[in-house]
Amino acid sequence: MSQFFNQYFNFDVMREHFGEVLVGFLQNLLVFAVAAVLALALGLFLALLRQLPGRKLMPIRFVTIAYIDFFRAVPILIIILMISGGVPFLSFLPQEVRIPHWFGRPDPFWYGVAALVIVYGAFSAEVYRAGIEAVPRGQMEAARSLGMSHFQAMRHVVVPQGVTKIPAPMLNELISLLKDTTLVSVIALSESVLVSREVLSERLNSSSLTLTAIFFVIIILPLARVVDKLIARQQLKVTRGSHIEVA
């Protein structure tokens, strides 16, 4: 037992390499921040495409659904490896796109962000769709009767109401996104897991990995409690609504 604790809870190793692991964790947070903003935007765009009306727009809806289903099914690690291993060889793209170093960040950073956005854009699209479809159809009909186009009705009436119904599930997706930033370590981005593994190979001790886990717990546990409160609040609203209807 003492060997186990020395291997994973050696506080001397944690203290010596605290700064290195913290810098790596800040890299995780930066990847998360960029990917989260872009994935939320992409998810909303995909959800709106999926809601387009009419037979003429059926091909767009079909392609959108295919995109969402495909990228929800493929493991994100495979997407990361395919992007990092394939994009640099797409000769028809400009070099600054194939091997990006935007804002002073290395190309593995942007390959990881791109993979996370592609996958989590698909997941967030389904969350948005659930919120949009939870809005009563009468809201759309009322907006159209006032002379609004489909786009105007979605923008000003349906989407604002739908977004209020999804904070808890969307926050759950963002928590998963934060944890999945560690997968970018496979393409040599110096985030917390890669730094911890380098410490492991140097010191033959895994305590730096435990330190990384502690950093994630400090961030994610409060977010998980927020999700619980949001779910409880939503259930309370539903319960109150049912009591009013019964009355």
pLDDT tens, position by position, 118-147: 999 999 999 999 999 999 988 888 888 888
Given a cut of 70, whether residue 244 has pLDDT beyond it is no
Output the 3-class SS for 22-55: HHHHHHHHHHHHHHHHHHHHHHHHHHHHHCCCCC
Name the residue among 177, 171, 146 with its Cα closest to residue 225: 171
Burial-class residue 223 by CB neighbours within 10 Å (0-12, 13-18, 19+): middle
- pLDDT tier at 239, thresholds 50, 70, 90: low
Q: What is the dihedral of CA 22, 28, 31, 33, to 10 degrees?
A: -80
3-state class (DSSP) for residue 10? coil
- CA distance linking residue 159 with residue 168, whole number of Å: 16
Lowest-pLDDT range of 102-106, 117-121, 236-240: 236-240
Q: Residue 237 belongs to a domain with what CATH number? A: 1.10.3720.10
Higher pLDDT, 247 or 154: 154
- pLDDT tier at 231, thresholds 50, 70, 90: confident
Range of the domain at 171: 2-246
pTM of this structure: 0.91
Give the side-chain half-sphere CA count within 13 A for 106. 9
Give the side-chain half-sphere CA count within 13 A for 77. 5
The tens digit of pLDDT for each residue in 21-68 reads: 999 999 999 999 999 999 999 999 999 999 998 889 999 999 999 999
DSSP 210-226: HHHHHHHHHHHHHHHHH
Q: How many domains does the chain have?
A: 1
